[in-house]
Amino acid sequence: SQPQAKSKKTDFTPLQKNRILSLLGPGEMISFAKEKRSFAELESTLTLQRKKDIREMYEDSRENLLGKLERTITEFLVDMGFLEVKSPILIPFEYMERMGVGEDKKLSEQIFRVGDNMCLRPMLAPGLYNHLRKFDNVLPDPVRIFEIGPCYRKESDGNSHLEEFTMLNFCQMGSNCTRDELEYLIKELLDFLGIEFEIVADSCMVYGDTIDVMHKKMELSSAVVGPVPMDMDWGVNKPWIGAGFGLERLLKAKHDFKNIKRAARSESYYNGISINL
Amino acid sequence: SQPQAKSKKTDFTPLQKNRILSLLGPGEMISFAKEKRSFAELESTLTLQRKKDIREMYEDSRENLLGKLERTITEFLVDMGFLEVKSPILIPFEYMERMGVGEDKKLSEQIFRVGDNMCLRPMLAPGLYNHLRKFDNVLPDPVRIFEIGPCYRKESDGNSHLEEFTMLNFCQMGSNCTRDELEYLIKELLDFLGIEFEIVADSCMVYGDTIDVMHKKMELSSAVVGPVPMDMDWGVNKPWIGAGFGLERLLKAKHDFKNIKRAARSESYYNGISINL
Ligand SMILES: Nc1ncnc2c1ncn2[C@@H]1O[C@H](COP(=O)(O)OP(=O)(O)OP(=O)(O)O)[C@@H](O)[C@H]1O
Ligand SMILES: Nc1ncnc2c1ncn2[C@@H]1O[C@H](COP(=O)(O)OP(=O)(O)OP(=O)(O)O)[C@@H](O)[C@H]1O
Ligand SMILES: [Mg+2]
Ligand SMILES: [Mg+2]
Ligand SMILES: [Mg+2]
Ligand SMILES: [Mg+2]
């Protein structure tokens, strides 16, 4: 039966396999070796199913998964006493130098430069540092703020990286900035979202020691218990804690997407469903 | 009294005047000629008032005006049967050529290029064109979609332009794509938001004849009754209508901000209030 199985497999070219995989529903699987239908038959069946999915979804809610997750998290954090911040996405490149990105060769090569002096933010930390400094002695202690929005890094290899993704970063400055409090906040958020996780220790060039939050083998978040030496360059001189999450990774974990592209800002998928129909 | 008034005015340098103006509350005015307090006294009074404003706002809601307006409009349009789209912000520069931006010298000079082949979107039309084409014969007729998100143009002069702003674009394709329907949708939205407006005719290089929506002397929106010749290059061949609004301009109109910077993604203002305190 080996030769027979082989001849079955050659019915699908690599291009055809990719097309079929892209047309599967978010949780669906296929065994090409066992598949009896021709490419044309399979493609047209799946295309019809996906059209039906999109129509049902349209009747059902019409909300975009990424937009909706941003709203869900925003409501949750605002209720927890965090202030919603929206800072610039196009930022001075000088901020990156002040973040010590120059010393992290990998991250410094990932920055999208814009003109001579600007870049697309790869993280939310600079904007949050500036807000923490300005809100100190203005907001009640501890100061609690967060931002959700687009970030950019030149790294799109594998199933968990996008060049354009959406970061959530919450932080607290002043009283009670302990590792326990940080882990409590992470647990509250991920329990609320219904996403399983595990906390492990890690270290990174920019912040020194960090806590990583994993879902199976995928990093959901890196979190930091400050203070860190860099705080001085941002005019921040109180203890702080903070965590950064990728929203597309949260969606990938939640909906069991094989590839993070299904969760991205995209012209190929809508809410995890192919729209190349 | 002319010399006396003059000597009063010279109490404030241009830099000091700007500082004081930035510290005024969103609707507040000041007459420097009549002002009796010294710069230091005035600055410290206003600073205290703004700290109080921020604390009250924090106790009250903790939502960011720009984020909240995006959510309010999203809920409104989803209820009206529009599908929420989130497409890439970093797009192929080729899209701009296909939008005919090359023929509009002013707009083509406003594009932020990123690397050799990409740029920051100056408008939402390319992503919406691609979605309209892909949703044709998938979503029920008429197809109704919208997007809200960051757009970029090199033009920050005056009180109504930002380099980084937030666009809303809704559109409908198929049946009932008339000028009346377009004006009805615009009126429903702006009445819902409580913003006064006037509809006037205009024309633009990219789309030909457009309808402009004005608030006093500020353009809130340009709207188009398709089809237009360019549709062919995007594979769209049904009638359509659409309108693009700047969210920061809607906030400026609604809250009577003197300068649009108060409504922008910013590290200087939070919800229209200075945070350089
Ligand atoms: N390129 C990316 N695409 C999607 N999400 C990302 C990307 N880079 C980072 N994130 C998300 O942002 C979070 C915080 O950013 P951080 O700088 O810790 O990422 P990272 O440690 O470089 O992640 P990785 O090691 O997976 O590249 C990550 O845990 C992840 O959820
Ligand atoms: N630089 C900008 N800053 C803030 N909002 C903008 C900017 N450019 C455009 N908008 C908003 O987007 C809407 C649709 O974009 P459109 O291309 O019609 O702008 P425009 O005609 O170039 O506006 P203007 O003539 O004021 O420059 C505008 O009506 C406005 O509300
Ligand atoms: Mg990385
Ligand atoms: Mg990390
Ligand atoms: Mg313009
Ligand atoms: Mg216009």
Q: What angle in degrees, to the nearest 10, is found between the helix axes of B179-193 and B65-79?
A: 130
pLDDT of residue B190: 98
- Minimal-distance CA residue of chain B relative to A75: B63
Chain B hits for A276, Cβ within 8 Å: 134
Which CB contacts under 8 angstroms, 24+ apart, belong to B258-262? B258/B21, B258/B159, B259/B159, B260/B159, B260/B160, B260/B161, B260/B162, B261/B162, B262/B26
Query: Are residues A87 and B277, on separate chains, in Cβ contact within 8 Å?
Result: no
Nearest to B138 among A55, A88, A265 (CB): A55
pLDDT of residue B1: 40
- Alpha helix positions (H), chain B: 2-9, 14-23, 39-60, 65-79, 93-98, 105-108, 125-135, 179-193, 247-255
Query: Are residues B275 and A84, on separate chains, in Cβ contact within 8 Å?
Result: no
pLDDT of residue A208: 67
DSSP string of A207-253, one letter each residue:
TEEEEEEEETTEEEEEEEES--GGGGGGT--S-EEEEEEEHHHHHHH
pLDDT tens for each residue of B151-185: 999 998 889 999 999 999 999 999 999 999 999 99
- Residues in a beta bridge with A143: A173
**Which band of pLDDT confidence, cut at 50, 70 and 90, is reported for residue A6?**
very low
Query: Are residues B112 and A112, on separate chains, in Cβ contact within 8 Å?
Result: no
pLDDT tens for each residue of A217-245: 999 999 999 999 999 999 999 999 999 99
> Mean pLDDT throughout A174-181?
96
Pairing outcome for strands B208-215 and B218-225: antiparallel
Tokens of A263: 């969760």
pLDDT of residue A237: 97
Q: Which of B19, B12, B3 is nearest to B35 (CA)?
A: B12
- Residues in a beta bridge with B269: B274
Q: How high does pLDDT run on average in chain A? A: 94
Q: ipTM of the assembly?
A: 0.96
pLDDT tens for each residue of B103-122: 778 889 999 999 999 999 99
- Sheet containing strand A240-246, strands side by side: A83-85, A143-152, A164-173, A240-246, A218-225, A208-215, A198-204
B82 reaches A (C-beta below 8 A): yes
Query: Are residues A120 and B90, on separate chains, in Cβ contact within 8 Å?
Result: yes
- Sheet containing strand A118-120, strands side by side: A90-92, A118-120, A113-114
Query: How many angstroms separate the first and last alpha carbons of chain A?
Result: 35
Tokens of B137: 């014969």
What percent of chain B lies above the pLDDT cut of 70?
95
pLDDT of residue B210: 85
pLDDT of residue A3: 47
A259 pLDDT exceeds 70? Answer: yes
> Mean pLDDT throughout B34-48?
95
pTM: 0.95
Instruction: Classify each residue of A105-124 as buried b or exposed e, where b means 16 or more C-beta atoms within 10 Å of its C-beta.
Output: eebbebbbebeeebbbbbbb
A199 pLDDT exceeds 50? Answer: yes
Task: Tell me the helices (H) and strands (E) count for chain A, helix number first.
Answer: 9, 12
pLDDT higher at B44 or A4: B44
pLDDT of residue B10: 56
Question: Mind telling me how many Å the CA of B63 is from chain A's nearest CA?
Answer: 5
**Which band of pLDDT confidence, cut at 50, 70 and 90, is reported for residue B11?**
confident
> Mean pLDDT throughout B45-66?
97
Q: Which of B130, B65, B125, B104 is nearest to B269 (CA)?
A: B65
Do residues A173 and A239 lie in contact, with contact meaning Cβ atoms separated by under 8 Å? yes
Q: Is A133 in the pocket of ligand 1 (CB under 6 A)?
A: no
What percent of chain A lies above the pLDDT cut of 70?
96
- Residues in a beta bridge with B244: B169, B222
